A = this chain, B = another copy of it.
Amino acid sequence: MRRSVGSNDRMRGEDSTMEQRLSLVTLGIRDLERAIAFYRALGWEPHPSSVAGEVAFYQTGGIVVALWSRDALSADSGVSDGGGWGGITLAHNVATTAEVDGILVAAAAAGGRIARRAAPTEWGGYSGVFVDLDGHPWEIAVNPGWSLEADGTTRLG
């Protein structure tokens, strides 16, 4: 069949293969207004298509991040909720160590937990981790081995 998206070397033409890309990351939250306020303190604004009291969407480069009820997400995903962290960590790469430090300060000021203080890493970078109000960790990193392009794209070296 014809595809409605363009082809490139990352994309496959067969129906039964999955293009090598991600569209949406949904973070389960307990209190939507509290979660929106936390991310707003870091500079994130919900998209106008967000639904008050229900779901917040963020256009984050070429993908979408959503905040939605953790219970609803668990049911919708067909999984049992382990109740804690479940094996996924997000990262946000920046160009300078000062940006790493600044974002961690802002996250702590907004009520986030600093789970790992910013420091040089064994892989030659610099990073620290904050955990948001719903337990989702974000590593904030400078990675000299990867490229951070003008449009925010993170490119493997």
Contacts and interface: CB of A to CB of B under 8 A. Distances in A.
A155 B150 CA distance: 19
A5 B24 CA distance: 23
Query: How many copies are assembled?
Result: 2
Nearest to A93: B23
A22 B89 contact: no
A16 B156 contact: no
A64 interface: yes
Interface in A127-157: 129, 131, 134-137, 139-141, 145-146, 148-157
A6 to B, nearest CB: 4
B64 A146 contact: yes
B95 A3 contact: yes
A98 interface: yes
Interface core residue of A12, A81, A86 (most chain B CB under 10 Å): A86
A148 to B, nearest CB: 6
B96 A23 contact: no
A32 interface: no
Contacts of A91: 22-26
- What 8 A-B pairs come out closest when comparing CB atoms? A86-B86, A82-B84, A78-B115, A17-B43, A28-B87, A15-B102, A6-B150, A82-B82
Interface of A: 1, 3-6, 8, 10-12, 14-29, 42-45, 47, 49, 57-65, 70, 73-74, 76-96, 98-99, 101-103, 105-107, 115-116, 129, 131, 134-137, 139-141, 145-146, 148-157
